[in-house]
Chains A and B, each alone.
Chain A
Amino acid sequence: MKARLALRFRRFLAIFNARNREFLRDRSTLGWNIILPVVLVVGLGFIFSSSDKPMFKVAVVHQAESIEAIDLDFLDTRYVQFFSVPDVESQMPKVARHQVDMLLDLSDPRSPHYWINDTSPRGYVLEKMLPEGNYQREIVTGREVRYVDWLVPGVLGMNMMFSCLFGVGYVIVRYRKSGFLKRLNATPLAAIEFLAAQIVSRLWLVMAITIAVFVGTDLFLDFMMNGSWLLLLLITVLGAISMIALGLMLAARVTSEELAGGLLNLVTWPMMILSGVWFSLEGTPQIVQWASVLFPLTHMLDGARAVMIDGAGIVDVFDHLLILLAMTVAFLVIGAMSFRWKED
């Protein structure tokens, strides 16, 4: 039993090492995996930190059917995005971090309140735009969340997504098409040993690159980090495994690289748009928000941002962790059960 386990581990290690060598010696792919996220984080961080976002964001608490139904000229102001929120408490931290420029509470028309961060230039301008009236002014304090603080998990997460899905899914289809998998199938190597080696190899490589890029860019950009590093690592590892497992599932029996590319694009593009990589899904139609929860990247990004920006603890992000774990198990089971070594 012990000898058999040792043999299994030796086979796993042989495939793991070979895959690592293949990745690390492919200089062009390796360079692309490192350079792209650095360019995106630094470039976009610079672009968006040097010019204000074009739109003002005002969260409105009200009891009307919709914002449009409220009779208040201020709510028709152009270039200001007004959106409904259910309560004041959930929005105050966002005003503190400049994610929302003003919070307006119209739930009691006789005594309306508004909150701004008095260090926010956009909050100051919005305050000047408010019409005369009996608005009660409230101040919230807190460090501004720059766009780059919000963006960095998105860009690194997107890079991980491409690396996990294409680096595993596409590679396995290439192995299958070239006949390399068929050759391995003629050895005592078990499918589970092969798949485990692919997962672990991609996981450590993608984590090493992500950590290196994060630490490197953090030296210059000093990202906001209000939570636990360990929890952030846990979320990131679970997110990476779930996306690798998704790649394995998609590649389980595909034999054409064109089809594999199509399938992988079919999941990466919606994730890139709907998982909140570039912009917050707050204020987007409800159907978009429902669709976003289907993607592992959404849960990884929401969890990572909650830890980094809101200082969330494990209890606060437990639902994301649980969903990522469930997705990983489901993708792995389906992927392993439908795995084929060769073209039929």
Chain B
Amino acid sequence: MTAILEVRALVKQFPGTRAVDGLDLAIEEGICFGLLGPNGAGKTTTIEIIEGITRASSGEVLYKGDPQGQAFKEEAGIQFQSTALQDFQTVRETLEMFGALYPGGMDVEELVDLCALGGFLDQDARKVSGGQRQRLLLAIALVNDPDIIFLDEPTTGLDPQARRNFWELIERIKARRKTILLTTHYMEEAYRLCDEIAIMDHGRIIAQGTPRALLKQHFDDSILELPAAEVAGKLENFPFTVYEEERGKVAISTGDVNAAVAALLQRDVSLGDLEIRARTLEDLFLELTGKELRA
């Protein structure tokens, strides 16, 4: 596979802080690549340098083997974290305006169909709902039928239903073999959509790979969760690691679920509220960055 995008020794120095600190990255064509990290890790700065919006202090970004130029601008689709649009335009007019800025691209009708804009096409673009607005911004990012798409926290602030609808849209775009660079705070989103992820902290990449490979590399256990009240005083000298979780729960880490369950039964713990789960990207994220997701 060839890399559509390569980032080499990227550095961005702001007064008093180094937002990106010698970052290297290669993104293969046709995959969805997730860039994860806590707030202030340098994700948005990195993505904006790649997009050509922010200038790097040093390092280089290569698109299809060449520095970003006019070809990149014409072939990239970008959705910022937050974008204001021109006032007093309908959704259709907004799409047509952005479409006219590119030499070619998708028809408005195709975009409407792909991003499910049909119900509010002639509404004032300022007056659509949060989910509709994100779909419109995605449609604008797709207006030039791009080879590579940048989505910076596209589902932040959406309700669960709107988020899931948005994921379905991204899956439809993935099916068209587009390359996607996605930043997100939602580990479930990254796990579902990304073929490969990189976790950033302090301007550097601290882990990279497929979600499954990363989980396998860092964890070999499962988690048993029980209400803290249920196990009070019953887990002294328990043979597996026990730690307290939020919302009044206790977690038990084990590589042998059967043995852990047997040990709990031996101590008269009721298993009515037992939950057994595999390790998630969220566990990995917390393990690597030591931070809450929204810290």
Contacts and interface: CB of A to CB of B under 8 A. Distances in A.
B53 A22 contact: no
A17 B140 CA distance: 18
A283 interface: no
Contacts of B240: none
Given A186-B73, A187-B102, A178 B97 contact: no
A14 B97 contact: yes
Interface stretch (B27-35, B78-86, B174-182, B209-217): B78-86
Interface of B: 51-53, 70, 73-74, 76, 78, 80, 82-89, 93, 96-98, 100-103, 140
Contacts of B70: 188
Interface in A32-48: none
Q: How large is the interface on A (under 10, 10 to 19, 20 to 34, 35 or more residues)?
A: 20 to 34
A10 B83 contact: no
A181 to B, nearest CB: 9
A35 B80 CA distance: 40
B89 A342 contact: no
A124 B285 CA distance: 94
B93 A18 contact: yes
B87 A15 contact: no
A183 B83 contact: yes
Given A14-B98, A21-B93, A186-B51, 11 more contacts: A10-B100, A13-B100, A14-B101, A22-B88, A22-B89, A183-B83, A186-B80, A187-B73, A188-B102, A188-B103, A189-B101
Interface string A1-15: 000000100110111
Contacts of A21: 88-89, 93
A26 B88 contact: yes
B123 to A, nearest CB: 14
B88 A25 contact: yes
A273 B140 CA distance: 46
Nearest to A185: B53
A15 B84 contact: no
A341 B88 CA distance: 21
A18 B93 CA distance: 8
A18 B86 contact: yes
A180 interface: yes
A182 B79 CA distance: 11
A15 B97 contact: yes
A22 B86 contact: yes
A121 interface: no
Contacts of A86: none
A179 B85 CA distance: 8
Q: Which 7 A-B pairs have the closest CB atoms?
A: A178-B84, A14-B100, A25-B88, A186-B78, A187-B101, A188-B73, A180-B84
7 contacts: A10-B100, A14-B98, A178-B84, A186-B51, A186-B76, A188-B70, A188-B103
A183 B76 CA distance: 12
A182 B87 contact: no
Contact of A188 (B74, B82, B85): B74
Contacts, number: 69
Nearest to B51: A186
A17 B87 CA distance: 12
A21 B87 CA distance: 9
Contacts of A22: 86-89
Interface in A242-291: none
Contact of A182 (B74, B80, B96): B80
Interface centre among A13, A182, A186, A188 (most CB of B within 10 A): A186
Contact of B84 (A7, A17, A179): A179
Interface string A173-207: 00100111011111111000000000000000000
B190 to A, nearest CB: 23
Interface centre among B52, B100, B140 (most CB of A within 10 A): B100
Contacts of A15: 97
B80 A183 contact: yes
Contact of A11 (B53, B84, B93, B101): B101
Nearest to A194: B101
B97 A188 contact: no
Contact of B53 (A25, A26, A342): A342
A182 B85 CA distance: 10
Contacts of B103: 7, 188
A189 B78 CA distance: 14
Given A7-B103, A17-B97, A186 B53 contact: yes
B84 A187 contact: no
A185 B80 CA distance: 12
A128 B83 CA distance: 73
A63 to B, nearest CB: 64
B83 A180 contact: yes
B47 to A, nearest CB: 11
A221 B93 CA distance: 42
B273 to A, nearest CB: 47
A165 B116 CA distance: 40
A26 B102 CA distance: 28
B290 to A, nearest CB: 32
Contact of B80 (A13, A179, A188): A179
Interface in A160-180: 175, 178-180
Contacts of B74: 188
Nearest to A184: B101
Contacts of B76: 186
Contacts of B140: 183
A180 B97 CA distance: 13
A26 B97 contact: no
Contact of B98 (A19, A25, A182, A187): A187
A182 B53 contact: yes
Contacts of A7: 103
Contacts of B93: 18, 21
A18 to B, nearest CB: 5
A26 B87 contact: yes
Contacts of B89: 18, 21-22
